[in-house]
Amino acid sequence: MFKEEVELIDEYEVIKGLVGVVIVRDRKTGLYLYNVIEPILSDNAGKVLTKSREVLRMSNKLPEGNDVEGYLRSLINEVMSRLRIRLSDDELKGVMYYLLRDTVGYGKIDPLIRDDYIEDVNVNGPNKPVYVWHSRYEHLRTNIILSHDELGSLIVKISQRIGKNVSSAYPILEGLLPEGLRVELGLRDVSPYGPIITIRKFRANPITVIDLIIDGVINAEVAATLWFMLENGINMVIIGPTGAGKTTLLNALLFLIRPEARIVTIEDTREINLPHEQWVPLVTRESETPGVQNVTAYDLVKVSMRIRPDYLVIGELRGEEAYVFFQGLASGHNGLTTIHASSLNAAVRRLMLSR
Ligand SMILES: Nc1ncnc2c1ncn2[C@@H]1O[C@H](COP(=O)(O)OP(=O)(O)OP(=O)(O)O)[C@@H](O)[C@H]1O
Ligand SMILES: [Mg+2]
């Protein structure tokens, strides 16, 4: 029956021998579906997993660093001897997979984060399928659904990892996960159907100007002109709507700057990544705590002027920092930035308003 209703489109492994992905097309609706296939545990392995989770929950501690796997292994051994169960090597691998997934990993959505083809992971609330943006098949509905509790604990885990507090006083959180993933959290206060999570992954290898030329985003003449402008101190503003590829183009252009140049970048959430030795990445800090300084892009632009960068880059120009930024450019600094706008006129309007 499975075979008749869906057509197999693609399949590959995400974790060798353990986790696979099967992409199918539903013949009726034409929808593409992304199915994560995780290890199926035997009864005995299931018992060991349940008990191990229980012990973990009670002890409520996990060693820091690389020792997690060793710790879990001895935990599993202890549980096995307590339950008088012997597991085969394959069964053990399965149990270990789930324990790692739910402790150091991101729970049920962990395979999505590990799949290099996936660029965005979208959790749109509890009890709804998680969607992904796949670099080959674009939007796909997955077979992963988080319950209310699972979503709640994932939010807590993510907020801890980005070092911000979830509270209804600050229902929108943005940050960078240790793996370099940009994440956006929206709590119930702003999202009536339940909390949402958007994770944007960075590509393993950043997109270069060569990639942009090969993909036809810009042609070689445009690329050469932009490079020439960059070398000769012409300032640039990259304008486009959400997800248009502004930051990607900015990053690719910055790669062309000669290696000894001093480059200061200012962002709310770090996305830009450069190989230059004199690259100074600055990030803003929103403070919720009295007595802890709130550091805005405006503050950082002012500081940057004093540390004499060859290039001053603002990841995204939004507010009052625009004024100091353009003042800086007028006084001879080289600057690059992006503005979120659908047209040049709209961008100019936004700049006038931000004054
Ligand atoms: N030329 C390209 N080829 C393939 N993927 C691309 C290309 N340019 C951008 N992307 C991908 O598209 C997504 C959005 O790109 P990017 O972050 O650069 O857009 P943006 O305009 O800065 O978005 P935002 O408005 O959210 O800041 C990223 O996942 C990026 O990897
Ligand atoms: Mg951007």
Q: Whose CA is nearest to atom 14 of ligand 1?
A: 243
Residue 295 to residues 51, 272, 273: CA-CA distances in angstroms?
46, 19, 21
Q: Whose CA is nearest to atom 1 of ligand 1?
A: 212
- 77-120 pLDDT, tens digit each: 999 999 999 999 999 999 999 999 999 999 999 999 999 999 89
- Out of 145-159, 208-222, 340-354, which region has the weakest mean confidence (pLDDT)? 340-354
Residue 155: band (very low, low, confident or very high) from pLDDT cuts 50, 70, 90:
very high
Query: Ligand 1: which of 117, 248, 255 to mutate, judged by most atoms within 8 Å of the beta carbon?
Result: 248
HEC per residue, 227-295: HHHHHCCCCEEEEECCCCCHHHHHHHHHCCCCCCCCEEEEECCCCCCCCCCCEEEEECECCCCCCCCCE
Residue 250: band (very low, low, confident or very high) from pLDDT cuts 50, 70, 90:
very high
Opening angle at CA 42, ends 37 and 47, nearest 5: 110
Ligand 1 and 128: CB distance under 6 A = no
What is the chain's length?
355
- 4-59 pLDDT, tens digit each: 789 999 999 999 999 999 999 999 999 999 999 999 999 999 999 999 999 998 88
Ligand 1 and 247: CB distance under 6 A = yes
Identify the DSSP state of 107.
G
Alpha-helical (H) ranges within the chain are 2-5, 43-59, 68-83, 89-103, 110-114, 148-161, 209-214, 220-231, 246-254, 297-306, 321-330, 344-354
pTM above 0.85, yes or no: no
Residue 344 to residues 133, 244, 351: CA-CA distances in angstroms?
28, 14, 11
For position 286, what pLDDT does the model report? 79
Question: Which ligand 1 atom is the nearest neighbour of the CA of 240?
Answer: 21
Residue 204: band (very low, low, confident or very high) from pLDDT cuts 50, 70, 90:
low
